[in-house]
Amino acid sequence: MAATSGGSSRKRTSAPRAELGASAPLYIDGDDVIPGEVIVTLKADAADAMTASVPIHPGGRGVSMADSLGVSGVDAVLASLGAYDITRLAPPSQGIARSAMALDGVPEPEESILGRSFRVRIDAKVAPDKAAAELDALDEVEVAEPNRWREASVIPDDPQFGAQWGLTKINAPDAWDVTKGSASVVVAVIDSGVDLDHPELAPLLVPGFDMVDLGPNPTPNPGWRFEGDFAGRDAIPEDEVGHGTHVAGTIAAVSDNAVGVAGVGWQTRIMPIKALTRVVRISDGRVSGTGSSADVAAAIRYAADNGAHVINMSLGSPSSTSVEASAVAYAVSKGVVVVAAMGNDGSSSPSFPAAYPDVIAVAAIQSNESRAAFSQTGPHIDISAPGVGILSTYLAGGLATMAGTSMASPHVAGVAALVKAVKPSLTATEIGDILRSTAKPLRDVAGDPVPNDRYGWGLVDAAAAVLKARGPIVIKPTITVKLRTPVVACVPRTITLPECGTIKTVLPLQCKKIKSIHIACPVTTTVTKVPTTVTGPGPGPQPGGADPFGVEQGDYEAGFAAGYAAAIEELQSGGGDAYGEGLFDE
C-alpha cells in the first residue's frame, strides 16, 4: 500500500475536470526546451575521475547542490555558463547485478548512462541549445543536450459521454474468464501521481515516488504558471492534476464491487511515480500536467529497479533526450514492458518517449474503430486502443471522462499486465509480440497493409492476447468409451483428455476376433492393439482360459489426440459417450 496523506502537509488540489487538458502546449512552436537547464553526460573515464561531490538526483528539500563536477575542463565551461544546482540523475553504476526478477532468456540489464548524467541549471540568459553545444564539444563529455518538457497527452472531452465502452471494445470481459490480473504484477504509472486515497485505487497501490524536481523557481513559457508541489522530491506521489489518477484507473481498479469503474485488471498493482506537476494557463485557468525529461528518465530507472513489470507513460513532446532513451533501454533489458502514448497533435511527427526503440507506442481510436482525429501517426506506431470518451477514476475519489492517446495507452498497459499474469516467464519482447500479433487489424481503406502508420497492428485484443500467452486452454473434459455389439464383454473406460497432445488408455475386451476398430468421438483418434495378454477366461467357465468360440482375449489401446480450444469445447458441450465400431470375424 502506498503512503497516504497522513504524515504529509501537502494541500490536495482538485481542478474541475472540464479544465483539464493540453489543447495549447506549454512549449511554443514545437520548442520543448526547458529554459535555463542542460543535461550533461560524462564519458566513463571522466566520471570515474571526478573530484567533486555531486548529490544524487532526486535531491529533495534541504539537499545542498553542487556548482561543479570536479572535471577541470568541464568545470571551466560550466562556470562561464553560470552553472549552479548540479545534480546527478541516478547513483553511479557499481556494476549491475542480475536481479531476483531476472528471467531465463532475458539479457543482462544494460548499464544506463544515468549514473554519469547530470542536470545542470545555468544562467537564464544563456540559450540551452548554445550551452549544450559548447559542452558537447568537450573531450570529457559523451553528450550534452537541453532538458525537455514532457506533457500529459490528454485533451478536453465531453463529460456526458460516460460509459466504459473501451473495456468491451478490447474484449476485456472475455479475458477476465481467463485472468483478472495478479497481485504479483506491478504497473508503474509515470504521470502526475495518483489520488492516494481513492477508494477504487488505494487497495491496489504499492509504494511509489514523487520524482518532480523543477527547483524553487522554474521558468515556464509566458502565459503559464506552476502550482503545487514541484520544487523537490519525496515519497508521496499525490496527484494535483487528475491525469495520473485517470490513467491508473484504466489499468486497474477495484472491480466487481458495484461502485465506481472497472479497470483492465482487477488485481494488478499500481506503482504511482509522479513526474508531471500542475501547470495552469493564466488566460483561462486550463490545467495540464508538465515535467522534464530528466525527471521522466529518473522515474523509468526507479520503476525498473523497484519491481515494476510494466511502465505506462501517457506523456511526451517532440524531442528525444539521450538520458530518457537510455533509461528506456535499461528498463527493457530488465524485462520491463514500456508503453507510451503516441501524442495528440494529429500529425505524423514523432513524440517521445513513444518513438524510442522497444517502446510500445499506442494510438487512439473512437468507438467505431476509426482513428481519433487528434491521434498522431507514423511508422513507429505499434497498436491502437480506445481513447475517446473514456470514463475512469479522478481526484477527490471521483470519476471523470477524458480523451487522448493518454487514455489509450493504459488500456494496452493493462492488457500487458494480464498477459504477464497468465505467463510470468514472458519477456518484454515476447509480451510486445503477443500484443501485436493478436491485435484486430484496422485500416481506413480495404487493401491497406497491416501494420500501417495510422493504427499499427490494430486494436489491442485482451482476450486473444491472454489466450495466446497461456497456450491451449486448460479444460479437461471426460468421455466414456465402450464398444457396441457383437462385443461379448467390455469394461467401459472414462478418459480425461489433456489440454493437448495424446493420451493412451487400455480397453479390456472380450469378443470375436477383431480385424479393426475405430473409436468415434469429436476428436482425432487412433486405435492399435497391444500385444495380447490373457486376462482371464472367456465367456463361461473354460478350463485353462481356452476359448472354443474363437474369442481373442486381450487389451486394446486407444490413443486420443485432444485438439486445441475449439475441439475440446465441442467435446465438452456435446457430452455423452463415445462408442467404438469395428469389423469382426464371424
Q: pLDDT of 272-298, one tens digit each?
A: 999 999 999 898 888 889 999 999 999
Whole-number Å distance between alpha carbons of 184 and 187: 10
- Could you state, in order of their start, the residue ranges of all structural domains in the chain? 33-147, 149-470, 478-584
Name the DSSP class of 197: T
Whole-number Å distance between alpha carbons of 217 and 78: 20
First-to-last C-alpha distance (Å) of the chain:
77
Q: Is the pLDDT of residue 22 over 60?
A: no
Q: Is the pLDDT of residue 543 over 80?
A: no
Percent of the chain with pLDDT over 70: 68
Per-residue confidence (pLDDT) for residue 472, from 0 to 100: 61
* Positions marked catalytic: 191, 243, 406
45, three cell numbers = 573515464
Contacts 24+ apart (CB under 8 A), 251-255: 251/187, 251/189, 251/312, 251/410, 251/413, 251/414, 251/417, 252/181, 252/187, 252/201, 252/204, 252/414, 252/417, 253/200, 253/201, 253/204, 253/392, 253/393, 254/199, 254/200, 254/201, 254/203, 254/204, 255/180
The residue count of the chain comes to 586
pLDDT digits (tens, 9 = 90+) for 78-125: 999 999 989 888 887 644 333 333 334 444 445 678 889 999 999 989
Q: Which of 17, 18, 300, 251 is nearest to 150 (CA)?
A: 300
User: Residue 466 in contact with residue 178, Cβ under 8 Å?
Assistant: yes
Whole-number Å distance between alpha carbons of 269 and 461: 21
Q: Is the pLDDT of residue 339 over 80?
A: yes
Superfamily of domain 149-470 in the CATH hierarchy: Peptidase S8/S53 domain (3.40.50.200)
pLDDT digits (tens, 9 = 90+) for 225-269: 999 898 888 999 999 999 999 999 999 998 766 667 899 999 999
Q: Is the pLDDT of residue 566 over 80?
A: no
pTM beyond 0.85: no
Q: Is the pLDDT of residue 181 over 50?
A: yes
Per-residue confidence (pLDDT) for residue 286, from 0 to 100: 87
Q: Is the pLDDT of residue 557 over 70?
A: no
Instruction: Tell me the average pLDDT across 309-324.
Output: 96
413, three cell numbers = 498497459
**What does the angle CA 364 – CA 365 – CA 369 come to, to the nearest 5 degrees?**
160
3-state helix, strand and coil shares in percent for the chain, rounded to the nearest 5: 20, 30, 50
Instruction: Give the lowest-confidence range in 60-64, 187-191, 361-365, 554-558.
Output: 554-558
Whole-number Å distance between alpha carbons of 209 and 396: 20
Please give the single-letter amino acid code of residue 224: W
Phi and psi at 84, nearest 5°, equal -155, 170
Per-residue confidence (pLDDT) for residue 145, from 0 to 100: 96
Query: Which residues have CB under 8 Å from 198's CB, separation 6+?
Result: 245, 249, 393, 397
Whole-number Å distance between alpha carbons of 314 and 410: 8
Place 498 in a pLDDT band, splitting at 50, 70 and 90. very low
pLDDT averaged over every residue in the chain: 77
